[in-house]
Structure 1
């Protein structure tokens, strides 16, 4: 895939939510999960904090300089209520040359028309 195609895919998938958070929030928890993964890849702390529910939001985020993100796989997406959902995913990355696999079921809530990450259970 060439750089232009990758750029368009980002804009169509996650970029529109990350770059236009105020005007275009993610329409569902799965889209928010994908955009949050992209924000981790970009080390975009402001987007990650803005999309973290206030009840669980950390004061700041620190990123490991040696982390290289390798991919995201959505395993399951379930609407659990009118304003709640869960997304199970596997994210792969390398840290200090070591392969890491993060498997989590994340909880999301919708408040005032916006989806927020609350927390997750890692497997």
Structure 2
């Protein structure tokens, strides 16, 4: 029975892609994480799995991520009345309390631009 990593490698090779090419599509600086996914040493995050499934539509569901008791790191950025929180799972929590409509619209357009770039990968 093949593992998730075996299947990822098989699909990558069949597609004629190098680990470096897949890494670039995942916005990684090098191919070491792709190598770790294929060897089973690392498990892709939900956002990484979403991109991998766009590259390889027949890729089966990845292994379940284990919570190793680590607290999730968060980055909170405030601008005026807006609070943006990013956590380690690439989730964004947004509070626009007291933000002018024009500023809220500009920020949402910025986010849509980021999402559009990720979809093009």
* Structure of higher RCO (CA pairs closer than 8 Å, 6+ residues apart): 1
Q: Normalization by structure 1: what TM-score?
A: 0.26
More strand by share: 1
More helix by share: 2
Q: Normalization by structure 2: what TM-score?
A: 0.26
